[in-house]
Amino acid sequence: MDTQTVIVLTAAASSAVVVTCAYMLFIRYMGLRREELETAKARHHLGLVRFMTDEKFSRAITDILWRWQWTDYDDYWRKYSPRSDPDANVTRRLARDYYVGLASLVRSGAASIEQVYEMNPSGVTRYWEKMGPIAREFRERNGYPDYLEPVEYLAKEMEKMRERRGLSAPKQLQG
């Protein structure tokens, strides 16, 4: 074998070793990235669970759905406006902010409507059933066309998701 052939074969073998080593390092790196990604997903999911099981929100939504009673918008406003009942205003804001936050997570892709449904299948539906008429009247009277729009969006998305799964809407709660 002449020198030139030996050099070419040595270079080819060396290149093969370098490519193999680089490939092995790449595979290892990708495995670590995959593990990091799975860990990040798990942390995100746990954060979502923590958010969706917040005790303050649970108390607020229980008050609104089960304790608050009104006949129409004016009655609602007399009883629960910020001036007439500041504590009720805090309760209302807690529930609103919770569902606005969930809607934001769904819209941004940080949470799927399926995840929200799995953790709270009827919550936003019940809330919107009760607060929707108030929100629509508030929009009209105050020139605030998107008041509670994120909540309405989330309720509609839940409805679409139920339809895709062939599920009917939850029935009205009986006391």
**What pLDDT, on the 0 to 100 scale, is given for residue 155?**
94
Q: Which residue has the higher pLDDT, 159 or 120?
A: 159
Q: pLDDT digit string (tens) for 38-76? A: 776 667 666 766 767 788 888 999 999 999 999 999 999
C-alpha angle 153/157/159, rounded to 5°? 120
What pLDDT, on the 0 to 100 scale, is given for residue 118? 85
Is pLDDT of 131 > 70?
yes
- Tell me what pLDDT residue 74 has: 97
Please report, rounded to a whole number, the percentage of residues in the chain having pLDDT higher than 90: 46
| Torsion angle, alpha carbons of 88, 89, 90, 93, to 10 | 120
* Interatomic CA distance for residues 121 and 63, integer angstroms: 19
| pLDDT at residue 175 is higher than 60 | no
